[in-house]
Each structure stands twice: as structure tokens, then as C-alpha cells.
Amino acid sequence: MHHRIYNLLRKHDLIKKYSPEDVIEHLQRVSMLKIGEEWKISEIPKKSGEIIRALEIPIMQNNGS
């Protein structure tokens, strides 16, 4: 996982800005909630959202975050 994230950071020229550990820390802040029978993504913190968008990580966002 560490190498995949490292490669993503290199691909997007963000290796000087973030470490793989930074990315993992921010991704841990994203969680899924079960509401009734449906799973939804919790609100994504601003900084985590910025990293997700910068690395083009495909996370479906149903709440407009």
C-alpha cells in the first residue's frame, strides 16, 4: 500500500508536499455510515478532500463534500 501511494504521489508531482503516511492519515478520516439499508460516505474533511482530489482517488461522494 505504501508503494502504491508513493507512486501516486510521484505521478501527481506531490512527493515534496505529502508523504505516504500523510495520505494514509487523511484517508483514515473518511468513513462509511449505514443509514437504513444504504451505505454513505461520511463528511470528508477539507484537507482530506484536497488530497483525494489531487491524487484522483476514486471515492464516491454523495454528500457534496
For 4-39, how does the pLDDT look when each residue is reduced to its tens digit (9 = 90+)?
999 999 999 999 999 999 999 999 988 999 999 999
Q: Kindly state whether residue 59 falls inside one of the protein's structural domains.
A: no
Domain count, the chain: 1
The mean pLDDT value for 47-63 works out to: 81
Q: Taking the C-alpha atoms of 36, 49, 21 and 31 in order, what is their torsion angle to the nearest 10 degrees? A: -10
Cα of 42 vs its chain's centroid, Å: 12
Task: Write down the pTM of the prediction.
Answer: 0.72
Residue 60 located in a structural domain: no
CA-to-CA separations, 17 to 14, 27, 43, 61, in angstroms, rounded: 5, 16, 24, 24
Confidence band, pLDDT 50/70/90 cuts, at residue 42: confident
Residue 34 belongs to domain spanning: 2-54
All cell numbers assigned to 54 = 489531487
Looking at residue 58, what is its pLDDT?
Answer: 86
